[in-house]
Chain A
Amino acid sequence: MTQTVIMAAVVLGVLGIVFGAILAFASKVFAVEKDPREEEIGGILPGANCGACGYPGCSGYAAAVVKGIAAPNLCSVGGASLTEQIAAIMGVEAVTGPKIVAEVLCSGHGCNKTRYEYEGLRDCRAQVKVSAGHLQCTYGCLGGGTCVDVCQFNAIHVVDGVAVVDPETCVACNQCVVVCPRDLIHLVPLKTKKHVAVNCHSEAKGAEVRKACDDGCIGCGICVKVCPKEGAIVMENNLAKINYDLCIGCGICAQNCPRKTITIDGVVPEPKPKKEAPAAAAAKTGEVNATASTDADAEAGRLTNPSEKLEKAKAAGDRPLSDGERLAPSSQALDTPAEMLQKKAERPAQKKITDPK
Chain B
Amino acid sequence: MKLDWSIVWQSRWLLFEGALVTILLTALTMLIAVPGGIVLALMRNSRLKPIALFATGFVELFRNLPLLLLVYWAFYVMPVLTGFGLPPFTTGLVALCLNVSAYNSETFRSGINSIRRGQSEAGLALGMSRLEVFRQIVLPQAWRRVLPILASTWVSLFKDTSLVSVIAVGELAHTAMQIRSQSFRVLEMLTAMAAIYWVLGYPQAKIVDWIHRKYGVRE
**Genuine A/B complex:** no
- List the interface of chain A (C-beta within 8 A of B): none
